[in-house]
Structure formats: structure tokens, C-alpha cells
Structure 1
């Protein structure tokens, strides 16, 4: 008998995400080593008045109990955080791990367990140990594969049985658009870019095998960022350009993560590269051997691409659509694009999906009565959840939904001017935590398993 449901399944998981380099702080505490995030500087392109650094961020390092208590109050069933490689191995290539670093993440997991929140752990999010960049140019060298694998093996073994979902890299496909931010090294040409991408891919393959070998009950999957590209018009030249962008930035990297192969169209997008000088014996066999358990996807906006658009930078994903409104930062607001993305990738790869990030960055205002009225965020999330439900009803298997972000954190290029969280961080008052209107709204969404989005503003 066929039974169709209009609701999320009972086992659907609700929660949110953060990221160590943007949230954790405590950059020189607990014997942590420096990472590329700790020495990042304003590149001169930002217009924000209060651009600061990642060294303090939201100070989660000292406030993790308070933060996780809020998550328990909201009713999170799942929570994604990232581990900092340089907190576990200060130099990145140490033989023995830093016990204080392991203890910190042990404490975080203990607090999550206290509130019955299931952890999702990302192992790398743009915070390479600085020592490895200086030693051998980091991800440009195949030496990184062994050092990263040692780090992965250490934490997966140490936390065996306590982490069900592991994600080796955050939005790895964006390496093609911003190698400097992701790795600390600006690639000079297509050969260097592919060499770096190949080292990431081999490290990912090793990580998948390590997780499966150490913890048979744990699940592991790759992460693809925000790949929903429309042609700007029905002009075949625009359609072709949009298709090529998806092949290079979306499907090409996803084919590696979820099918274990380099597709010809992906390799063809790297011009004048001698792949035989980079791909060594058994590399392709390693890539093809891994079998991920799920795919994790992030989504903020769709992009409208025209034949004359430059698509070789992060601006490619911010191409405007005249039929959609935008955020304060010009990011297209397109809930249907979310549904399109989910159905497209599920039909293509036939793996369960974990939504790792979805959210709205805005200039949140703290009122005199210590309130933050963020109905625009409620509207954005509610409309995206509705579209996600449509995809689920249409047969897309979605494990859970994690917003970006749980608490305000340091945005990658806009500091605290750009906020995403359900909980406001008051920079002018000792980083005090303050619930926004969206806090109680999302609490209600979780309680009703997404059935009641009644606080949505039309």
C-alpha cells in the first residue's frame, strides 16, 4: 500500500551549526597552535566599520556551557561544530596530540550529551595549522595527506562512539573560487589549483576510510556549498555558461565526493594542466574506493549566470536575479532554489542529505530593552523550511536541517556587522548572550517537527 505524507518524518533532526574559526576564540589558550585564521587580516575590500579578527570571535571557548544550554532550551536534536586542527595538533604534524585540545572537545561533547543533542563534526574549515603553511605550503604538498590523516585518525579514535556524523571538509568545492581563504595559499595557475584540489580529494578519501575503519557505526560524507545556478536568460549562451559553472563548481567536486571519480567535464575545465604529472599511481583507485554514507549541503542563495559573467571568484555565486529580493549584502533570497538544489543533487547522487547550513545574514539591531526583532530571519527560514518540506514530500531523503548559525559569530569577511544567529552576541557588553525573536520561533518549529511555521511574516 502506498502512503504519502505531508509532514517531515518522525526521525527528522533539527538544529544549527557553528564553526571553530568564527566562533571558538581562545586562539592561544590550552596550548593551541596558530592557524591561518588566527593571522588573517582585512584585505582592504571590506567596508565594515568594526571588522576585527578571529582570535576572540564569540569566545565559545570559555562559554561553551552557556551556549549549549541555550541550544538545549531551544530543543536542538543535532548540532554541528568544527574541530580546530591546531587545537588538537598545535603544529599540525606533531606526533602526539595536545591533551588540553582533546579535553576541550571532550567537554563540548559532554555538554551536548547532557541535553541529548547529537553532534555533527566537521574536521577542517579554513583553519590550517600555520606551521604547515610555512613548512611545505600546506595543501600544495602531498605531505599534507599524511598529516591530515593522522589528525583525523586521532580524533575519530578518541571520540569513537560519541560522534555519529563526520564531515572531513567544509564546502570543499569553494577551493576553486578562493584558494587563499581556504588554504592560506593563493594558487598561481590552473595546475597549482588542481594540484591543491587533488590533495584535498585524497585527504577526503583517506578520512572516509579512517572513519569507517575505526567506528563502524559512524557515518561520514562530503560537503558541497550552495550549488544552484540558473541561466540569466533562455539564450543558449547563458544556459551553456550556467551549465559549465555547475560542472566545475557543483557537479565536478560532488562527483569526487559522492561517486569517487573525476568526470571528464570536470578535468576539461582545468585548462592546460598535465594531470599525469599530478595524479600518481593508485590515486584514482583510492578515490574510487570510498563510499560515503550521506552528502551534506549548504545553501544560502541561487545564482543567475550570463554568458559574459566572470565566474572565477566568489562573486560567481552572488550573481543577482532580477526576480528575487536580496539580503543586506546582495545575496539572492530564493527559497525555491533550495528545493531545486535538494532535488537536483538527490536525483543525481541518491544519497541521504544533511543540510549543514542555511540562514540569513543581516544588520541585527539590539533595542534599548535588550530585544532583537528579526522577523526577516524568521520569514527567510520559514520559507526555506516550507520548500525543504516539499522536497521531502516529493521523495528526497533528508536526515536533518541545520541553520547557520546557532549563535552570532564572526562572519568570514564582515566581522560582527553581519549576524546569523538565534542568539545575539553583544560586543559592547562582555559578549553577553541575548535571545532574538527567532529563538522562540525556532524552538516552536522544532517542537512541532516543522508542522507549525505560524509566526512567519508574509
Structure 2
């Protein structure tokens, strides 16, 4: 098993949490905060918006822990100016938000665009720019228009590539004169595996988990590549922007020096990053996926291989935590996706104790050295592409009995950001081309299947008192950090 001493003394050591400062990053490095439409906007039936699969999924009893939904969420639709003002006051340079597909095309089909939806995002983008904040727009953050799911099976039908392309081009033409950084799809793995395999995310399918996740992923890849092709052909030169794909990955560290554990850890990374980046950089899915999944993994035509070739200007990485990986002929985790990986995910050191301090979510442990390792891995495996850390953060448990001043004093989150940012800095010094970092999240919000039971925000949202906003200690830490006053004192000492 993994020995803790190796990580305390070796090249994977935690960087001293007190030494990170703004000056450890390049002058043009972008610092921002992130959210997604369904989690923060609300106004689910206002402004001409059509229903999404998450609106429907939340109505299925037992799917959301607290029985909640995003109908109001934290009401950013009506309070976007207040939230943008907060971003500006904290000193962030960029805001990563997502556009709701069903707010642009209520049925998703692309026949009649919704002018009220376009006006809303124009207003948001214009106000961001007025406040000196760069918009980073995500086209798809899981909220597929419900009609596309009902009428054609959503991501299971190749026709969706055409509809996504129409939607993407509408956004490029409507907003691209001001939006210079585009993300096509956020975490396609989560849509594929949890939406079409385990059924714990919208649209809640689990009936054919050995086939549907791989089909959904395949069509998401083609949709991404098609949107990139349209952008590069018709908009990139004129608008001067960039476009990428955001993937999620928990670092996979071999649990021992045994070759079988090393192979299992390498396979784990292929099933996370390689699933999407190998077709883009190497022309096909990873060999290990082909071997384990056989004909269940779709094949690319020659034309599709060409379409996918190098279809990213940057790679977006969402990273929160890490695991030790041991070989296991039979995975202890249920479901086809994990069984195909032939591994066990381990969260404890050889001598006992968790891999890192535990956050509120059962899957999230504070493991700063993991982010440096995954950034280095992407740099080495995929020809050192430009990388943005598009999400990084941790959650607290909602506690209605806890006084608000205690909820605002989020000491562990401050430690989390200090240590993870220190590791990002080290990855840059080691040669990884990391160009930006977005903290997740600007606000406490609707946390998918966990509803409002988990709080990831730098800003506390008081759900019982008019959704008022209150900056936490972590928000004030970023304010000092971005002004250059955080960390310098400890370097001088």
C-alpha cells in the first residue's frame, strides 16, 4: 500500500501552505470563479426558457437528497448584477458561467431562437465587461432541453450532433464578438456515466449501462468537434477567441510499486481523460478501453477521425480530489464502467488514516499533490496543451443549526485553496502550460443530486433569508491573494 512518508519527502510533497502568492503565477495568468446555469440561475419558467432534463429529473421522487430543484436556485437570473459586483470586488478577472440551451432554444431544435434568452446573456456579458471581468462561456453543463430527450433519446441519438451545432453557432454569432473563451461541453464523463449508466444524474437512465454511456460519450465528442469546426471555420479569425473542452479527473496514484497496481492506475486515467483526449490527439479511444469494452465502444469513421484531430485550443480540467488505485480482477464498485477498469479506489494510507482531510461530500478528500500530478500527466501525455483549471474547490455540509458566522469561517476551504494553488504553481514551474484557475464555486448553490445539502461557495447564500449573499473567509483570502498581499509576508520571514 501507499506509504505516507513517500509523499511527505518526495517530489509529490505538499508545498508549504503559507508560501503561495499571486507573484508565483505568470502576470497574464487568469484567476476566476465558476458556476453553471441550472445550479444558479433559477427563473426556470421565465423569459421563454423551455424545460431541461434536470427540471424533469428533480421531480422524480428520491432522486434529489432533499427533494429540491433548481426552479429558483440562487436566482442569479434576477441578481446577476449583484453577483458580478461581488466577483469584481473580490478581484477576480474572469467568470466561467454556462448558457442554458433551453433558454436559447426552448425545445432544443434550433428552429426559433428565444430573443429573451439571448438578451439575458447579452446583458450578463456586457455587465461583466463593464466591470472588467472576462466571460468564459460553457455551452453545455448537463441541462439538455427536455424535448430533445423525449423526442429522440438525447445524447443516445447521433442526430443530436446537428442540433448542438445549430445551438453552438447561434451562441457564437450572438455573443462571440465579446466572449473570447468558449467551452463546448462540461464533464462529458459525468453525463455519460451518471446520466446514462447509473441513473443518478439526469436523464436518469440505467437500463442499458453496458452500452448507453459509451454511446452518449461518443456523440458528445462528435458534437464538441463539430462545434469547434464551425467556430474555427466561421468565427475564430474574425472574433479572435479560443475554444476547448472541460474534463473531470481525480488523480489515480498506484497503491504500491507492484506492476499490476501501476497498470491499474494508468488504466484508470485512460478511462477518465483518455476516453476524450485520445480520440482528439491520437485518433481513437485508448487501447485499454477497446480491449475491455470491445464492440460496446463505438467506432469512428475516417471522416470523424479527421474532424476530431486536435479539436481543442485548450484543455479544461475540473479536479477536486485523488485516490490510490489497486488492481482488482473484480471491482468492488458496482456497474459496468468500474468493472471494466479492473481496479479498486482506496482512500487510506498503508499505516491508516485517510488520504487527506474529508470535505462534506463522501467522495471529496483534500489531496493537494494530486492536482500537480494530473496537470503534469496532461502535459506529458498530450503534447503540453494550454490548460485551464476550470473547477477546483471543496464543500461544507449545510447545517441549519449552525450560526451564520461559523458557516462563514470556512478554515478548511482556505487551506484547500492555498495548498492546491501552491501545487498548480509548482506544475507551471515544472513546464505545464497552465494559463488559468477557476475556483468552484462563486456561490453556494443547487448541488445536483445533493440538492442544497452541500455548500461549495466562496459566497454563503442564506436560503432562509431572501437568498442574501455573504462572503466567507475563503472569499476574503482570495481578495488578499489577488491583490498580492497574501503570502508575501511568509516569504520574507
Q: Flag whether TM exceeds 0.5 (same fold).
A: yes
Deviates most, 210-219 or 315-324: 315-324
Give the paired residue count: 446
Task: State the partner residue of 2:244.
Answer: 221
Deviations for 1:48-67, whole angstroms, at most 9, x for unmatched residues? 5x441121111111111111
Deviations for 1:210-238, whole angstroms, at most 9, x for unmatched residues? 22221321101111102411223333333
Deviations for 1:21-69, whole angstroms, at most 9, x for unmatched residues? 11111110001000001112366376x5x44112111111111111111
Which blocks of at least 5 consecutive residues in structure 2 are unaligned?
A: 1-21, 350-354
Structure 2 Cα separation of the partners of residues 248 and 222 of structure 1? 16
C-alpha distance 152-192 of structure 1, shift in aligned 2 (>3 A):
same
1:321 is the counterpart of 2:348: yes
Deviations for 1:213-269, whole angstroms, at most 9, x for unmatched residues? 213211011111024112233333333322222222222322234555434333333
1:44 is the counterpart of 2:62: yes
Alpha-carbon offset, residue 206 of structure 1: 0.6
In 2, are the aligned partners of 1:23 and 1:58 still within 8 Å (CA)?
A: yes
Structure 2 Cα separation of the partners of residues 209 and 324 of structure 1? 42
Task: State the partner residue of 2:293.
Answer: 270
Structure 1 Cα separation of the partners of residues 489 and 450 of structure 2? 30
Structure 2 Cα separation of the partners of residues 102 and 146 of structure 1? 20
Deviates most, 196-205 or 141-150: 196-205
Alpha-carbon offset, residue 283 of structure 1: 2.1
Structure 2 Cα separation of the partners of residues 453 and 17 of structure 1? 29
Alpha-carbon offset, residue 77 of structure 1: 0.4
In 2, are the aligned partners of 1:119 and 1:163 still within 8 Å (CA)?
A: yes
- The aligned runs of 1:336-375 (5 Å cut-off) are 336-349=369-382, 350-363=384-397, 367=403, 372-375=408-411
Which structure has greater strand proportion?
A: 2
Alpha-carbon offset, residue 197 of structure 1: 1.8
- The aligned runs of 1:134-173 (5 Å cut-off) are 134-173=150-189
C-alpha distance 274-398 of structure 1, shift in aligned 2 (>3 A):
closer
Task: State the partner residue of 1:211.
Answer: 231
C-alpha distance 25-281 of structure 1, shift in aligned 2 (>3 A):
same
1:286 is the counterpart of 2:318: no
Alpha-carbon offset, residue 376 of structure 1: 1.0
Task: State the partner residue of 2:317.
Answer: 297
SS in 1 for 2:390: strand
Structure 1 Cα separation of the partners of residues 168 and 204 of structure 2? 20
Deviations for 1:369-400, whole angstroms, at most 9, x for unmatched residues? 69711111101110101111111111212111
C-alpha distance 293-83 of structure 1, shift in aligned 2 (>3 A):
same
Deviates most, 99-108 or 365-374: 365-374
Q: CA RMSD in A?
A: 2.6
Structure 1 Cα separation of the partners of residues 379 and 226 of structure 2? 24
1:199 is the counterpart of 2:219: yes
In 2, are the aligned partners of 1:168 and 1:221 still within 8 Å (CA)?
A: yes
TM-score normalised per structure 1: 0.90
Task: State the partner residue of 1:335.
Answer: 368
Deviations for 1:297-332, whole angstroms, at most 9, x for unmatched residues? 011000122223345669999742334222122322
Structure 2 Cα separation of the partners of residues 387 and 373 of structure 1? 24
C-alpha distance 141-376 of structure 1, shift in aligned 2 (>3 A):
same
Task: State the partner residue of 2:262.
Answer: 239
1:60 is the counterpart of 2:66: no
Task: State the partner residue of 1:94.
Answer: 110
Deviations for 1:345-367, whole angstroms, at most 9, x for unmatched residues? 11222101111000011126663
In 1, are the aligned partners of 2:180 and 2:241 still within 8 Å (CA)?
A: yes
Alpha-carbon offset, residue 275 of structure 1: 4.1
Deviations for 1:87-113, whole angstroms, at most 9, x for unmatched residues? 000000031210000011001101101
C-alpha distance 144-319 of structure 1, shift in aligned 2 (>3 A):
farther
Structure 1 Cα separation of the partners of residues 455 and 394 of structure 2? 8
Deviates most, 264-273 or 54-63: 264-273
TM-score normalised per structure 2: 0.84
Structure 2 Cα separation of the partners of residues 54 and 147 of structure 1? 24
SS in 2 for 1:421: coil
